[in-house]
Chain A
Amino acid sequence: MKLPCPFCGLRDAHEFSYLGDAGPHRPETAEGFHDYVYLRDNPAGLLQELWYHGQGCRSWLVVERDTLDHSVTGARLARGGRS
């Protein structure tokens, strides 16, 4: 599998490490923390997920991947506003 890093270009997946669903956001209070830590949707289909390009540009990316066939349809820097 290859991932289209927005900085480096197309790179093999072994240069990256995987974190998971990019959807959950850390809650401001203790309320909702259990769900934030433990609950994931695990959809069959398109998923926005976090990958870290540790062996390349060392950037966190948001990658859109289809969990059914591993086709990757896009990737952007997780940190907005930086090019």
Chain B
Amino acid sequence: MLETAQIYGRHGVAEGLAGVTAEVIEGLSIASVAERRHGAAGLAELMAINYGLTLPRRPAHVGAGALGAVAVGPGRWLVLGAPPDLGRSLHGVASVTEQSDGFVPVTLSGPSVLKCLAKGVPLDLHAAAFPPGSAATTIVAHIGVTLWCLDATPRFALLIARSYWVSFMAWLIASGAEFGIEVVPAKGRG
């Protein structure tokens, strides 16, 4: 069993540039938003007016400043960087649930990131099929993951349920070892 302390650092191939870099984000505020029946129009309007955010109605991630939203199902989103008044401001049109402690966000980048993810993600993540802004909720090594493409580098963001995070990182480190993988705490977030 991997201990949390063993997750951070360089794993696998030790020399040269890391093929995969994983940044673990702590302190990001996350909320789940589920539209109420007949609340769709009101929810879209309130999100646009109050936060300048157009909620995607297909598997996608959109950002507006410090705020982001990823669609995880029909009428359901996870809002990243959720403001404390989100529940109040969407009262009556959506159910808002605090999820900040529920997920660990991880960003993945590096020249071998696609080869590494291909070992577990059952989806085509090539830019032609999964351009920036694309999102998916799927299963990786029997662990549920919501992921989206941040930019064309490519960089990916992943949300893993906190109780599964250590197991997920064990898979990630094993999969990234042949490329050299660096796991670091994210800087400048929180």
Contact = CB atoms under 8 A, between A and B. Distances in A.
Interface residues of B, number: 15
A83 B44 CA distance: 13
B138 A55 contact: yes
A49 interface: no
Contact of B73 (A11, A12, A14, A57): A57
Contacts of B17: none
B74 A83 contact: yes
B176 to A, nearest CB: 23
Contacts of A83: 40, 57, 74-75
A56 B57 contact: no
B139 A15 contact: yes
Nearest to A57: B73
Nearest to A8: B59
Contacts of B162: none
A70 interface: no
A36 to B, nearest CB: 26
Interface of A: 7-9, 11-12, 14-15, 55-59, 77, 79, 82-83
